Amino acid sequence: MTEDGQQIKMRYTILFHIDASKIGFIVQNIGTEKDLVERIVKSISRSEARNIPKSFKASDLYGENIYVCEKAIFDKLVPMLASNGVIIDQFLLREITFDADLTKALEAKQIALEQQTTSSRMVQVASNEASASIVKAAGEAKAAALMQEQLSKSPLYNQYILFTGIAAGKVPNLQYIGIDPVPTFSNK
């Protein structure tokens, strides 16, 4: 059971070896290797595998914090089993099974968090695009203002460009930008 009252089932593996200096103690007080596994390793590990997850919420065990739980169990078992001649090499949580309804709820929560993240990113992209459009429009407006300023100083310059283009055999395309049409030419 977890801190928030959710039923879980854990499957784990313990990799260990026997402390050679305690073989006499094991034979006299515990028995055979099978007795050591059944009476010491399994009984102590089952107890701690039930107790330690009680300090975690189910949602924590569903995500990356499963490794924190795995380490907490390992750290608790090492001294307990060492006193009985068992040296733990690794404690591996192979599987934690949750109630089906809880699993659905946790998956829905994860999907909602991912959708929220995606939405936030989309808003940021749209904001960046809007800012870029504003900067571009400001640049174009400044260019048009500079062109108008230049044309107001020399109003005959447009006519000169227009007549020069016509004399060269180019057809003018006229764009109005505020004061006078600005001719541009294309070869047609």
Distance CA 124, CA 138 (A): 21
pLDDT of amino acid 34 = 92
Distance CA 84, CA 30 (A): 9
- Burial class of residue 130 in the structure, from the number of CB atoms within 10 Å of its CB (0-12 exposed, 13-18 middle, 19+ buried): exposed
Domains in the chain, please, with CATH?
8-98 (3.30.479), 108-181 (no CATH)
Q: pTM higher than 0.75 for the full model?
A: no
pLDDT of amino acid 54 = 82
Sign of CA dihedral 20, 26, 32, 33: negative
- Cβ atoms of residues 73 and 90 within 8 Å: no
Low-confidence ranges of the chain (pLDDT < 70): 102-103, 106, 151, 155, 157-158, 161-162, 171-188
